[in-house]
A and B are shown apart, each in its own frame.
Chain A
Amino acid sequence: MNRLRSLDPTVVVYLALVAALAIGALLVSTVGRNFFSAGNVRDILTGMSVLGLVAIGQTLVVLCSSLDLSVPVVISLSSLLAATTMAGDPARIVPAVLLTLAVAAAIGLFNGLVVTKLRVNGFIATLGTGLIVKGYLDTQYKGTAGTVPWEFQLLGATGLGPVPVSTILMLALAALVWFVLARTRVGHQMFAVGGDPVVARLSGLHVARPVIVAHVVCSLTAAGAGLLLASRLGVGSPTVGSQGGYDLLSIAAVVLGGTLLLGGRGSVWGTIGGVAIFAVLDNVMSVMQVNPFLKDIVRGVVIVAAVAVYTRRTLHAHRPRFGAGGPTVDGPLPGPADGAPATGQLPPAEEVAR
């Protein structure tokens, strides 16, 4: 347990992923299938790409101790904008993509401004934005619309060997976001603002800027997911985002990947690991022909259990002066009494206690 404590959270996520792979391979082999066959690997990677895209953006938002619940409608809107603008014409792919990204960026900017300038809690702000966009979607589109040209459909359909292009794009984006977090000032500021806004302010940072950037990027990655879905479906759909439940699932993947829901700690690669765990679980259950509805139960249990393990790991001990004479050196307030802080940027009083 002590060794586990000192490990980097991302390493723990990948250990969990390896365990999931091993157990998955074992289970799959009992029904006489090969888990690591090219086809199956492609299935898993394909399953990762859409949620992965959304979760990459969500990671930034959660790091800044905000949330983005508007991703499903951004995904749907993006798929529609792309498909209707392209209207089956390969020449219009580029303008359609640019338009989609521009609209998504505007939505993200709106989210970021509402959160930072109007000081509306991220949960409510993005819920509201989601409703606003949903109204537009419901009014404007009665069902699937537009057509995606065959060239654009290739994006979702081709691959290099067993690795789909969409997954490569997703991983490239993850690398880019990793670079932003590790090597740009705004990335560093995201950790600071999410970790401790007071320290951030005292260090002379503009607290609003990283939060706005995170929201914009999150909307952009959601738009990317929407584009990908449009390319797979061949059309735009006003419900493709909400049906996938991408808002909550992406948050779950982020937290599963070791990012603190309160912000300030986390990594993109952890998130990718979390997404991979979901994809492996899904895949194993599909191959085993588990009832699709049971999958949700397993997902729910896995999320809670995984986060419970992380929380156990990361309790900071109040530095003892004397050797422990008993069992109660684990945390400042032993027992469950101090509860767990809720979410997002809600002030957790117990954090201040010591």
Chain B
Amino acid sequence: MRRSPREVALDLVSPQRAVFLLLVVLLVAIVVVNPSFAEPGQLMRFLQRVAPVAIVAMGQYFVIVSGEFDLSMGSLVTAQVVGAGVLVGQDGSRTVPVLALMLAFGVLVGLVNGLATTFLRVPSFIVTLGMMLALLGAVMFWTGGAATGNPADEFRQIGRGGWREVPVLDFVPYAVVILVGLLVLALWYTHRPAGKLHVAVGDNVATAHHAGVRVWWVKTRAFVISSLSATVAGVLLVGYAGVHPSVGRGYEFTAITAVVLGGVVLGGGRGWIVGALAGAVVLEALFVLLNYAGVPSTVRSSVQGVIIIAAVAYSALDFRRRRSGPATTSPAGGDAAPAPGRGGDTSTTSPAHSGA
């Protein structure tokens, strides 16, 4: 499929791809402000710091693209971090069994979220909000509200360690290897039949159900994936940030923001996982840039807020343009559409659930 440069350029400014353009601009700006950022070692450390957020964003991607929300990711990260701190303690030999336990716990949380959403038909916003409260309460109850010291160094190495003095790259953190590995795994999965079903379910649940898709299982899988990704992020954060009940706070919102910045549509059915990943990197890069530029750390969230609103408003603009295109409002093909006037602007609002 050969494409004209114009098409490629248009593609770059489309909201699905705009995040990459934004990322490039940010990275270039960082290098201009601080040329040493371009050194491989610096870049790797940057990616190491990005890794937990990026992994959480990739997990949230599956939930959002399936048409749901996961607000429990942040407290799950906290729970896993604190849990690891308590369970591993100073005994490095416990690393592997505790890792296994953490993953199992992640699966359990995802299953509960998914099954409550699909079988109890409670909106996932509420289910995962309940899970968020319950997890946070449980962690604090268990630890008595005080964080217990850092776990054994073997465990912390996963998040903070890496191969040093690697040719060209200088330093290769384990976290970056894990991030790349998970990205490859996620890309592979999104191209598998089972992975493709997430988007299909998010786009139109009724169509998927009529096509014999097990909707409950697809959505539950998405929740399990997001919980597992929160678990991995927790493991990395134990090493990187240490054990504290505030680690992971707000990650659910950061992840949702990253996913939406990456061109993924809330409500499901549209979006590319690499976009979500790029969204996470953009958020981190923005911080780095503001940091290097000497902007006080306190102003950063304001800048972030402006960028988020602008980016999403931009994509809404694009949707309107697409929706008002000729074929989509085809009345000839639209006999089944309920009532008149469905055209133009249904993108931000739920469609009719008309009488009958």
Q: Which residues of A contact B (CB under 8 A)?
A: 65, 69, 114-115, 118-121, 123-125, 127-136, 138-139, 196-199, 201-202, 207, 248, 251-252, 255, 261-263, 291, 293-301, 303-304, 307-308, 311-312, 315, 333, 335-354
Contacts and interface: CB of A to CB of B under 8 A. Distances in A.
A13 to B, nearest CB: 15
B341 A201 contact: yes
19 contacts: A119-B347, A124-B256, A124-B266, A128-B304, A131-B302, A131-B304, A251-B129, A252-B126, A296-B134, A299-B130, A300-B133, A304-B126, A339-B216, A340-B118, A346-B268, A347-B349, A347-B351, A349-B207, A353-B206
A132 B122 contact: no
A338 B266 contact: no
A342 B265 CA distance: 12
Nearest to B336: A352
A347 B346 contact: yes
B205 A339 contact: yes
Given A339-B205, A342-B69, A351-B353, A198 B132 contact: no
Interface of B: 67-69, 71, 116-127, 129-141, 145, 201, 203-207, 209, 214-216, 219, 253, 256-257, 260, 266-268, 296-306, 308-309, 312-313, 316-317, 319-320, 338-342, 345-354, 356
B215 A198 contact: no
A293 B119 contact: no
A349 B341 CA distance: 18
A347 B124 contact: no
Contacts of A252: 126, 129-130
Contacts of A307: 122-123, 126
Contacts of A125: 309, 312
Contact of B67 (A123, A248, A341, A352): A341
Contacts of B347: 119
Contacts of A114: 309, 313
| Pairs A-B, 6 closest by C-beta atoms | A135-B302, A296-B137, A131-B305, A346-B267, A300-B134, A138-B298
Given A340-B117, A340-B121, A134 B134 contact: no
A65 B350 contact: yes
Contacts of B305: 127-135
Given A118-B309, A308-B116, A349-B203, A340 B124 contact: yes
A308 B130 CA distance: 12
Nearest to B143: A293
Given A124-B308, A293-B141, A299-B133, A261 B68 contact: no
Contacts of B312: 120-121, 124-125, 128
A114 B313 CA distance: 8
A255 B342 CA distance: 29
Given A293-B137, A349-B206, 19 more contacts: A69-B253, A197-B346, A198-B339, A202-B339, A251-B129, A261-B123, A263-B350, A293-B141, A308-B120, A335-B216, A336-B119, A338-B209, A339-B201, A341-B350, A342-B68, A342-B266, A351-B350, A352-B353, A353-B206
B309 A342 contact: no
A121 B214 CA distance: 28
Nearest to B205: A350
Nearest to A351: B353
Contacts of A197: 346, 349-350
B309 A128 contact: yes
A340 B126 CA distance: 11
Contacts of A124: 256-257, 260, 266, 308-309, 312
A297 B132 CA distance: 9
A297 B133 contact: yes
B133 A199 contact: no
Contacts of B320: 119
B117 A293 contact: no
Contact of B121 (A119, A294, A311): A311
B296 A248 contact: no
Contacts of B137: 293-300
Contacts of A335: 216
Most interface-central of B68, B120, B133, B256 (chain A CB within 10 A): B133
Contact of B298 (A123, A135, A304, A333): A135
A308 B122 contact: yes
Contact of A119 (B122, B139, B260, B313): B313
A130 B267 CA distance: 21
Contacts of B216: 335-337, 339
B300 to A, nearest CB: 7
B323 to A, nearest CB: 11
A341 B129 contact: no
A316 B104 CA distance: 38
Nearest to B117: A340
Given A201-B341, A297-B133, A304-B130, A339 B121 contact: yes
| Centre residue among A338, A341, A346 by max chain B CB count within 10 A | A346
Given A138-B301, A301-B130, A338-B206, A311 B120 contact: yes
Contact of B303 (A115, A135, A351): A135
A292 to B, nearest CB: 8
A304 B71 CA distance: 13
B141 A297 contact: yes
B130 A300 contact: yes
A304 B120 contact: yes
A131 B286 CA distance: 14
A1 to B, nearest CB: 16
A341 B266 contact: no
Nearest to B209: A337
A347 B267 contact: yes
Nearest to B140: A293
